[in-house]
């Protein structure tokens, strides 16, 4: 008796972007994307690796503390008005 294992199709970022044109993304940080979060009744959200973003900010010349503060205030704590009413 053979049993079949269900196959889950995980969409690529490009597929999600095509299907969700209102999805908010961070310009220039696609290499830090770890996934896309979907929830019933909520907008689709891109999930980023915060550590990779902070590392990228350090590479632009910020100190580690400056990069973390910039990330916390301007990215993680930023107001994304596109989906806010």
Mean pLDDT score, 69-75: 93
pLDDT, residue 12, reads 66
Greater pLDDT, 5 or 46: 46
pLDDT above 50: residue 1:
yes
Q: Determine the Cα angle at 48 with ends 80 and 15, to 5°.
A: 90
Comparing 18-22, 53-57, 71-75, the range with the smallest average pLDDT is 18-22
Domain boundaries, the chain: 11-48, 50-80
pLDDT above 60: residue 85:
no
pLDDT, residue 28, reads 85
Q: DSSP state, 26?
A: -
The model's pTM is 0.70
């Amino acid at each position: 008796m053979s049993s079949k294992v269900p196959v889950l199709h995980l969409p690529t970022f490009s597929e999600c972007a095509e299907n969700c044109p209102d999805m908010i993304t961070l310009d220039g940080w696609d290499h830090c994307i770890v996934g896309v979060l979907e929830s019933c009744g909520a907008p689709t959200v891109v999930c980023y690796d915060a550590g990779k973003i902070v590392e990228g900010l350090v590479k632009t010349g910020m100190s580690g503390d400056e990069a973390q503060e910039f990330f916390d205030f301007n990215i993680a704590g930023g107001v994304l008005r596109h989906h806010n009413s």
